[in-house]
Structure 1
Amino acid sequence: MDTNEGKYDKKTDKGDTSHFQALATALSGTVGTGNIAGVALAVHLGGPAALFWMLMTAFLGMCTKFVEVTLSHKYRDFDEKGMVAGGPMYYMKKRLNINLKNGKQIKTGYWIGGFFAIATILSSFGTGSLPQINSISNAMFATFGIQHMVTGAVLSVLLGLIIIGGIKRIAQVTEKLVPFMAIIYFAGAIAVIFSNYQNIIPSFISIFSDIFSGTAAVGGFLGAGFAFAFNNGVNRGLFSNEAGQGSAPIAHAAAKAHEPVSEGMVAILEPFIDTIIICFLTGMVLLSSGVWNEKLSNQFQQTDIEILAGYYHEQNEENLAALKNHLNNKDKVSLFTGEIQIEEGKILDKISIIHARSLAENIEVRQGGDLFSGKIPVTNGKITDRSGNLTFTGQSLIHSAPLSTAAFSKSILGNSGQYIVAIALLLFAFSTAIAWSYYGDRSVTYLVGAKYIVVYRIIFVLGFFLASFTDTTIIWSLSLITIALMTVPNLIGLLILHKEVKSTIKDYWIDFKKEHPKN
């Protein structure tokens, strides 16, 4: 038996990758910016309780991932080049047709599979390519001062060289890249957690103490109710491990395995590694470091600014309750409309500014680098000045990748902790782009055949380069839509075929016991 094969594998098993390579490729697609920025956003919005609900999605995700991978491996095909062509679109094509009483069949499965394949191609850009390189280039510029276009050019060439070799070269890269990037991130996270050892137990308890009541106000965090913590934890968890979306089964379909159930079992490891290990580590880094509820100096994003009519103070219990309800979309407080007067960068009006869901302090307004004096128009709490020259700085909570960066700096690593986040973001996001290029080219194969894959790959790499130095806000919106368009038909298909999965598992164990009787 080959040394790369498992104990129960057979030399005659068909496929393009080993179990581990398929797992590594699928993990490279799921372990990405969501594990760094997504966890930080969930904790920022919902507090420690959101991390609990994120972890709960992983346990449900294990079951979902097992079922979708089992079905996709069972009904995979081989394209005209002899390469595996698999994924939810293939089980949809073969098993979601409508059989009529006269013996005829309506090919509904083919069209549902086509719909899923189109959504996957769009998502390969909206999820796996454009936002990823945009995040990488921003991180490289902020941390090392490398120009966005330079980062884009170098990584685009590297991406092209990898994906042109297809799944076999992709698997060869990911099986080395995934363990390497996981070790780097794990080591950095452990360094932060144990540098703040006195906060380990309190942080761990905080994850479970308020799961049904939400998180109370603490530090600069103004509090979050149960619904807010639950929704953000579940949303970020599903975004991270992609359970039910139908992307990972495309990678697992390529694995050499004679039993689909065995590959489904391998896939169970994905949500466990992605969410229960990596996301949990990120969460503990954020909580133990204390930065999640600490106001830090930063430049405000105008989209995160909300100007309130009147002065609020978080030490006032009535003010605090009103702000918590406002942020949790209950009773809204009055928003400011009019003009705010600024003199030498200081706000003269009796108003309050919320930035990143916290009351901002020590606010300074500049225009083109100089302290600003004048009036700024505001409508319903939002600044309507579109000149783009005004900048607001001050102290407030921060979120997403900057929050993770701040957390990694609160350890024996000091300011060098920011480099771990930047490098991890580079590796995580780049590996995601590699995996999604494969998901997209298998979808192209389903729709128009393998001969058009090269066209897709050229467009994929070109888009990857362009997104390194352009705004991808619209792409993120497209991503959320395409994820939903992939998930809905996949979950419907899994529900329809749940009895078949049950019988497939039963048959697997019967055959397994026959082939491997106990001694």
Structure 2
Amino acid sequence: MDLIEELVAQISDFLWTYLLSVLLIFTGLFLTIRLKFFQFRFFGHVLKNTVGKIFKKNKQKGSITPFQAFTSALASTAGATNIVGVPVAISFGGPGALFWMWVVALIGMATKYAEIALGLKYREQNKEGEWVGGPQYYIKKALGWNKVAAMFAFFLMIEAIPSTMVQSNSISTQVEGAFGWPTWLTGGVITILVALIVFGGIKRIGKITDKLIPGMILIYISIALIVIFAHIDQLPHVFGLIFTHAFTPISAAGGFAGAMIADALRWGIARGLYSNEAGVGTAPIAHAAAQTDHPTKQAMWGIFSVFVDTIIICTISGLTVLVTGAWQDVGPDNASNMINVALSTVFGDYFGGLFITIFLLFFVLTTTGVLVFYGEKQAEYLFNLKVSKGMRIVYIIAIYVGAIGGLQFVWQFLDLTLAFVVLANIFPLLFLNKEVKAITEDYIERIYKGKGGKPSIELFVHKK
């Protein structure tokens, strides 16, 4: 078993360090150029038509509001990856890793925009009247690559099992350390709460995420900003470190072992990609349920989500550990505790640990609920609604098993299965670049410029 785990780890490391990172960056750059830098030229318009219209009601086709679709998708990326992932990247890659996270986010906006736009164009209604979509639908309908579509759906359906297990284990062990609760108790509570969420379908998930996610993000940012402003004299020095060591090596200091340029590049890119999930193909699954009359209107939420997730939240996390010196005080082996240490410089050890525990608890609930939804929708695509509801039970059981630390060898397959998911999505995105361009141009001409007229593309392909 140890040999198998080591082999899986080596294959996963190779795929994510070299092949997938290069592919995702190339795709982001290619789509950015193909769309004539849409995410930059129209960023003000994006803000106006996303966060600027949160409270605007519409009666377009869809199961949930555009904002609920956005928060549902954001729930699967924001949280642990921002709190734990960023300190890990800095611990191994140095302050310069934050710069490369920004670069990845800026070009990743185009990738996420493209996959959501395609997901909306090729969505359909299932037998229960819910709108469903995602890479498996546009791969099959637009390209006719049935086997690739099935590959995406199968590996994402399987990947959701270790994903839910890792999520529940992260919070059960955190609660055990902070409050002394046994993992079986925390696991039981989490399992019941997630079950109550997912058995309500995407509509209940949307209603819960649009209440919890914005509040949790704002609270986290507020607490972190207090810490940053308490050490504001360090900001000029910190920004100097970020930009300098994105292109030059940095020597060891304190608990920090030092990093080469390649380390900053590797860890910044890897954590950036993992944080916002641009190119993974999961976001279109949630966004496909949104009430909208044009793919671009909803796809702009993808641009905004990458901005919030990486440019705002990850930056705040990075600056917090850098200005406090926690990145030098805490070694790589304990990097996941770096934010706690940073917060303790202002609020004390008890509050720092308590806040992070509570924050992660709520995020794990929403993240796990969305992961279960993603997984069961793949089962629905591959088989039928009855099988998808059966997979829902499998995921709920996996949540509890993961919380108590069971079947840890399954966790080793998380990165590997996710790699196959990305591969099945990224090549179709490149082949469908003309469709994405046509969708974007149709929106710019008819809606942004107000010329009106009939759509120049077939906007929706759906069945009942």
TM over 0.5: yes
Q: Is the 8 A contact 1:133 1:152 kept in 2?
A: yes
Aligned pair 1:124/2:160, yes or no? yes
Residue of 281, 302, 306 corresponding to 2:316? 281
Q: Is the 8 A contact 1:58 1:275 kept in 2?
A: yes
Aligned pair 1:483/2:418, yes or no? yes
Q: Is the 8 A contact 2:193 2:365 kept in 1?
A: no
Aligned pair 1:439/2:374, yes or no? yes
Residue of 42, 45, 62 corresponding to 2:89? 42
Residue of 201, 224, 242 corresponding to 2:277? 242
Q: 1 CA distance for matches of 2:166 and 2:81?
A: 11
Residue of 107, 112, 134 corresponding to 1:65? 112
Q: 2 CA distance for matches of 1:445 and 1:154?
A: 27
Q: 1 CA distance for matches of 2:366 and 2:435?
A: 34
Residue matched to 1:474: 409
CA deviation profile, 1:304-338 (whole Å, cap 9, x unmatched): xxxxxxxxxxxxxxxxxxxxxxxxxxxxxxxxxxx
Residue of 471, 487, 494 corresponding to 2:429? 494
Q: 2 CA distance for matches of 1:200 and 1:421?
A: 23
CA deviation profile, 1:96-150 (whole Å, cap 9, x unmatched): 22xxxxxxxxxxx2221111001111221222x1100000001101111111111
Q: Is the 8 A contact 2:340 2:349 kept in 1?
A: no
Residue matched to 2:129: 82
Aligned pair 1:292/2:229, yes or no? no
Q: 1 CA distance for matches of 2:311 and 2:413?
A: 28
Residue matched to 1:315: none
Change (3 A) 1:260 1:145: same
Which of 145-154 and 422-431 deviates more?
422-431
Residue of 245, 262, 265 corresponding to 1:230? 265
Aligned pair 1:400/2:447, yes or no? no
Residue matched to 2:183: 148
1:403-422 to 2 correspondences below 5 Å = 403-422=338-357
Q: Is the 8 A contact 2:402 2:408 kept in 1?
A: no
Identity %: 37
- Give 3-state SS (helix, strand or coil) of 1:232's partner: helix
Q: Is the 8 A contact 1:36 1:400 kept in 2?
A: no
1:450-461 to 2 correspondences below 5 Å = 450-461=385-396
Residue matched to 2:197: 162
- Give 3-state SS (helix, strand or coil) of 2:403's partner: coil
Q: 1:23 is aligned with what amino acid? A: F
Q: 2:281 is aligned with what amino acid? A: G
Give the CA deviation at 1:451.
2.1
Query: Where does structure 1 lack aligned partners over 5 or more consecutive residues?
Result: 98-108, 296-395
Give the CA deviation at 1:482.
1.5
Q: 1:262 is aligned with what amino acid? A: K
Q: Is the 8 A contact 1:85 1:446 kept in 2?
A: no
- Give 3-state SS (helix, strand or coil) of 1:80's partner: coil
Q: How many pairs were matched up? A: 401
Aligned pair 1:92/2:139, yes or no? yes
Superposition CA RMSD, Å: 2.0
Task: Give the structure with the higher percent helix.
Answer: 2
Q: 2 CA distance for matches of 1:7 and 1:179?
A: 11
Residue of 111, 114, 125 corresponding to 2:150? 114
Q: 2:148 is aligned with what amino acid? A: I
Q: Which has the higher contact order (CA 8 A, sep 6+)?
A: 2
Q: 2 CA distance for matches of 1:12 and 1:286?
A: 45
CA deviation profile, 1:49-106 (whole Å, cap 9, x unmatched): 1111112111111110000000011001111111111000000110122xxxxxxxxx
Give the CA deviation at 1:415.
3.2
Give the CA deviation at 1:197.
2.4
Give the CA deviation at 1:36.
0.9
Residue matched to 2:305: 270
Q: 2:412 is aligned with what amino acid? A: S
Q: 1 CA distance for matches of 2:248 and 2:54?
A: 48
Query: Where does structure 2 lack aligned partners over 5 or more consecutive residues?
Result: 1-50, 454-464
Residue matched to 2:7: none
Q: 1:432 is aligned with what amino acid? A: T
Residue matched to 1:428: 363
Change (3 A) 1:508 1:136: same
Task: Give the structure with the higher percent strand.
Answer: 1
Residue of 226, 229, 246 corresponding to 1:211? 246
CA deviation profile, 1:330-358 (whole Å, cap 9, x unmatched): xxxxxxxxxxxxxxxxxxxxxxxxxxxxx
Q: Is the 8 A contact 1:245 1:486 kept in 2?
A: yes
